[in-house]
Every structure is written in structure tokens, then in C-alpha cells.
């Protein structure tokens, strides 16, 4: 492989999105239940809030790209769901969610050690369907390019977002290695444009799909060895 650029997925690759998302929703739910005096509000669960958000995201897919706007709309629907529609309160809940979502995020422990090695040899970038910008988690000095689906209005695994990636990175598809946890979005998406792929399988789950990554790792710290870098 003639790799010169490595792009990384964000959520569940560099940080535990599910953990910080549920933590943020817990703080938001506490405030919602404090302000809304209905039995349905008191019985509301985090899983229901996630379901309502996903349902709303599907309704506005292709119409609203900004993830914070989607989250705002989801909180508005959540308040309607508990019988207490209030857009001002939804905005307040969204502010609480945002505070915890971005201030309480934690990198996986293998991220910085791996980046410190790879950054000496390759151009690194972030390619994400999420919205955690590098400066929110201390990674702003590592990335030569940052691409978010909400900014370019196309999502992985669509080939177009990988085309945008190589344009910004200044490389060919054959020079790009993409690393991510999703077999569909990351592996299949990158494979389809002729880029190289690493599937980050932290939990050691079985691959029951047709997606075939070039490499499978359980930790990011395995990547330098794959690329022949002597630490």
C-alpha cells in the first residue's frame, strides 16, 4: 500500500458517543422532569428519548442536516409526547444537552498514543457523520482536514463524501486509508471508492455482513504495526 493519508471516523471510533449521549440525555431528562408536572414526563425514559430523536431524524432526513437543529426538534417532539408542548423549554433542554454532550466527552485511551505515532508519517483527517469538532476534545492539532456530513450535506457511505475527502486531503483514493467502527458506513463506503480500510472492532463482534475490510483491529494501537511503523 502506498498510504499517505489516514481518515478517521469519530463516534465510537475516537470517543464513546453512546456513553456521552446517554449521560447528556440523563441530565436533560432530570431537568425536563423537574419542569414538567405530568405523569408521562415522570415515566419518560432515556430509551424513549432516543427513539423519539431517531424518529424525528428520519422524518427530516435530507431536509435538515444540522444535528443540533435535529436534536432541538426532537426535544420539541418529546415535550409534545409527554403532553407539554413548549418550544422555549425545548431550547432550554437542548442547551443542557449540548453542554454535557460536548464538555463531558472522553477520548478512548488508545487515540492520543496512536495519533502521536501516525502524525509523524501520515496526513490525518476526521471524516464523520457526527458533529464532534476536534477542538471539543483536544484533537485540533492532529487533523489536516475535517469533514462532517452535516457541513457537506452527504453522509457516509455515499461515495461523494469520500470524493470530497480526497480532494481536501490532496491524494488519490489508492493513497487513502479510512478507519472506522461501522462496516456499512466506513468499510463498505471506503471500499466502494477504492480506498483502503481498517475496521475497528473494539468489542470483537462477528462480521456477518458482506463488507470485507483490508484489516480488522481491536485497538487503534495496532494500526502503526499494520503500516510497518516501528514505534
Cα distances from 80 to residues 42, 77, 141, in angstroms, run: 14, 5, 42
Provide the greatest CA pair distance for the chain.
Answer: 61
Delimiting residues of CATH 3.40.50.1000 domain(s) in the chain? 5-16+107-226
How does pLDDT run across 39-61, given as a tens digit for each residue?
999 999 999 999 999 999 999 99
Peptide bond into 157 cis (omega under 30): yes
Cα separation of 178 and 189, whole Å?
Answer: 9
pLDDT at 97: 97
Cα separation of 68 and 191, whole Å?
Answer: 30
How does pLDDT run across 1-12, given as a tens digit for each residue?
799 999 999 999
pTM of the predicted structure, to 2 decimals: 0.94
Delimiting residues of CATH 1.20.120 domain(s) in the chain? 17-103
pLDDT at 231: 61
What lies within 8 Å, CB to CB, of 43 at 6+ separation is none
Fold of the CATH domain 5-16+107-226: Rossmann fold (3.40.50)
pLDDT at 58: 97
Distance separating the N- and C-terminal Cα atoms of the chain: 19
pLDDT at 1: 76
- Which parts of the chain have pLDDT scores under 70? 231
Chosen CATH of 17-103 out of 1.10.3470, 3.40.50, 1.25.40, 1.20.120: 1.20.120
Long-range contacts of 206-210 (CB under 8 A, 24+ apart): 207/183, 209/183, 209/184
SS3 126: strand
pLDDT at 213: 98
Edge to edge, what strands does the sheet with 145-148 contain?
145-148, 123-128, 5-8, 176-180, 196-200, 215-217
Amino acid at each position: 500500500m502506498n498510504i499517505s493519508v489516514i481518515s478517521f471516523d469519530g463516534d465510537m471510533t475516537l470517543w464513546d458517543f453512546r456513553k456521552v449521549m446517554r449521560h447528556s440525555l440523563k441530565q436533560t431528562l432530570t431537568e425536563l422532569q423537574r419542569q414538567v408536572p405530568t405523569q408521562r414526563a415522570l415515566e419518560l425514559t432515556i430509551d424513549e428519548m432516543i427513539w423519539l430523536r431517531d424518529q424525528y431524524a428520519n422524518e427530516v432526513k435530507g431536509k435538515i442536516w444540522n444535528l443540533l437543529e435535529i436534536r432541538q426538534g426532537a426535544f420539541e417532539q418529546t415535550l409534545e409526547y409527554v403532553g407539554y408542548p413548549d418550544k422555549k423549554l425545548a431550547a432550554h433542554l437542548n442547551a443542557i444537552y449540548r453542554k454535557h454532550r460536548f464538555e463531558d466527552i472522553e477520548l478512548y485511551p488508545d487515540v492520543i498514543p496512536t495519533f502521536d505515532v501516525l502524525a509523524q508519517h501520515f496526513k490525518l483527517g476526521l471524516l464523520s457523520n457526527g458533529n464532534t469538532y476536534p477542538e471539543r476534545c483536544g484533537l485540533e492539532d492532529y487533523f489536516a482536514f475535517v469533514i462532517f456530513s452535516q457541513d457537506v450535506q452527504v453522509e457516509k457511505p455515499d461515495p461523494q463524501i469520500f470524493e470530497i475527502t480526497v480532494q481536501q486531503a490532496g491524494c488519490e483514493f489508492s493513497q487513502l486509508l479510512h478507519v472506522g467502527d461501522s462496516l456499512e458506513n466506513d468499510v463498505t463506503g471506503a471500499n466502494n471508492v477504492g480506498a483502503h480500510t481498517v475496521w475497528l472492532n473494539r468489542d470483537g463482534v462477528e462480521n456477518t455482513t458482506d463488507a470485507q475490510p483490508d484489516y480488522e483491529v481491536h485497538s487503534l494501537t495496532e494500526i502503526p504495526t499494520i503500516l510497518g511503523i516501528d514505534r
